[in-house]
Structure 1
Amino acid sequence: MSVMVSLFDARRTRTSEKYTVYDADVLPMFVAEMDCALAEPVRDALLRAVTDGDTGYVGHGRALPEAFADFAADRWDWAVDPDLVRTTTDVSVAAVETLRRVIEPGDQVVVMPPVYAPFWDYVTEAGGSVTEVPLLAPAGTADPYDTTAGWRMDLDGVRQAFAEGARTVLLCNPHNPLGLVHDRESLVALARLAAEWDAVVVSDEIHAPLVHADATFTPFLDCCPEAAALGVALTSASKAWNTAGTKCALMVGASDRARAWFDGMPTEVVERTGILGYTASVAAFSEGGPWLASLLAELAANRRILAEELGAALPGAGYRQPQASYLAWLDLRALPWGDDPALRLVDEARVALSNGRDFGRQGIGHARLNFGCSEDTLREGLSRLAAAV
């Protein structure tokens, strides 16, 4: 049975942003939410909670830290200490509250564009200032069957940022919008560089369960002893199991320093965790593996369709298959849609994509396409885009 559901059925019953922002004739392929059914264990756990009236404030048990630790050990051979796991509403809150503990007002925080648009806001909300160290793009024209592995961190640029006063890196691993999975060697190099400058790395790893079969995810905290000593990982079940609205994320440490940061946070940071999100996350990490495997198979098929057919639909478009997630980064600069193609395509193709410019200056002329949908929806989107050329 397919994990994906038809866009028509989803739109008829759902009220989330994806299905309500645009008119009904626009294909919503922008925000990172999938057209999928809930995993049965997650659905059943939520139904039990609602039936039992278990909808109050979140408790203080160890169920979720232990479920995540088991998942991490099984999937990545990563030994997580449940005592160094805290929860909160979502990864955005986790990022802001962690940064508030590790920086002083005005401190520089390194981000690596093109990157998830809210990263700039996280830093400023926490009281810091953004220092951009863009990723290094692969040279030459990509074969669409290539993956995003050609992209890499600019470690020399990070060193220069440290030399100029930055002491924190806000890392995205896997990297959104590219779907890049940073390799172990790069992560080790970043950790050792940070250790040299007594810097901190906060690693957003929300897309980690969505890594495809041709890539290997390395948790930042597990890449080397230096990373464990100076890092914090942020993650959630929400992206992989499509439960963003239930509100639960995890902050993971591996050192006494991280424990002190967590213990120094206001109690409300944890108290704001949604109890339904907590319930859903326990079910996802402990019982959601088979459903996740089915999802990844369908996403891999859609990823192949894009590689096979995007060139014919959009001659001159640049695309590399993402190593993780269901988000495709499209270079549309060769097409007649200007600096912000997504803005044009809503009107000209009736397809809503994410604006590339939102991910940094490097996103000018680009757009992000969400292929977490049925094959029929994906093909309809490609057909509409082709007709708009």
Structure 2
Amino acid sequence: MAYIHKRSNGKWAYTVSCGIEPLTKKPKQITKSSFATKKEATSAARKVEAEVENGTFLKETKMTFESFAKDWIKVYAQNTKISSVRARSKEMKHFISVWGPYPLKKVSKQIYQKRIMELSEKYSRNYVSGIHACCRMIFNHAVELGLIKINPTENTHLPKYQVKVEEIESKKEKIKFLEKEELAQFLRITDSNGLDMDSLIFTTLAYTGLRIGELLALKWTDFDEEKGSLRVTKTLYNPNNNIKGYELLTPKTSGSIRTIRIDERLVKMLKRHAIKQKEIKFQKGPLYVDNQFIFARDDGHPQLRKVIETRLKRLLKKADIDKNITPHSFRHTHTSLLIEAGVGVKEMQQRLGHTDINTTMNIYAHMTANMEEKASHQFSKLMKDLL
């Protein structure tokens, strides 16, 4: 039976007995105050008694959102790549900045939906979807630990983004790649004007479709000269472009682990590079940190992505190519050349390391659409010249 009493401040309170605490062997009680009337306190006490009797009572935590979120990210990090942990930590901050000192149990569905609406006004739907997924995991963990009763993120509706006609018409193509003639021009300039390893790096990217992290993680044990292949088993993670602050992680997906056949030209380039690298090792002696990286700096550490991006801009300017090309653009360039060469979608999926065939199909559809548009323009130009 609940004990209902009036406090000195004029508010009503209840105390409900919950049996004996297993560890301390002492009586366990639940007390709550601040009720305006005795009737309200009695009603609330009856609900608690019913939950205790049914075994469904849960005493929610007083822990703040920030405190619990930081505990959760530590657990999440135990079985997740550091790159994913870094992304989740950034997403988490969108809620900590607003609810930091707020009790975890006080975050209601209404409060959560309001925050999602605010974020959707600032960021893309895809990014907000990632933020939502992060917070859903945080609250799911709290429910699993018995710290809160309800996950406030459940059944939350992400706002629909209505694209205007003007936006569609003015929207630039997201996938950037070099046309066959542009690639040939770029590689010629790279051969004649490139700095150390530039020609090998950009030729490898264009001829294999490797992700930049996969390329930088390649070691000499991944290169099979006789078979003419490169084995992809890892990716280099170095978000701060620190010479020594890198990590080797498993590839993006399970399908990313693959063996890529390469042509004779690239095999010869790699063999020449191996000879040159041995000379550098001999010259540097103990100063060379030999971790067997193919694309190593003169000190043995893997080349920095930032350096490659800077050199790429320099070479694009020299080649007079006015496109926003990044190292990843060579992956799309490789895809477009595979399509033009008549390579099947399944073979493309395996070569590019896509676990999901839909990823390959989406890129394939985009690339073929670009080619169809190019063909239409070429036909139109031909007819104008004739007429």
> What TM bracket, shorter-length normalisation?
under 0.3
TM-score when scaled to structure 1?
A: 0.22
TM-score when scaled to structure 2?
A: 0.22
**Which structure is higher in helix share?**
2
Bigger Rg over Cα: 2
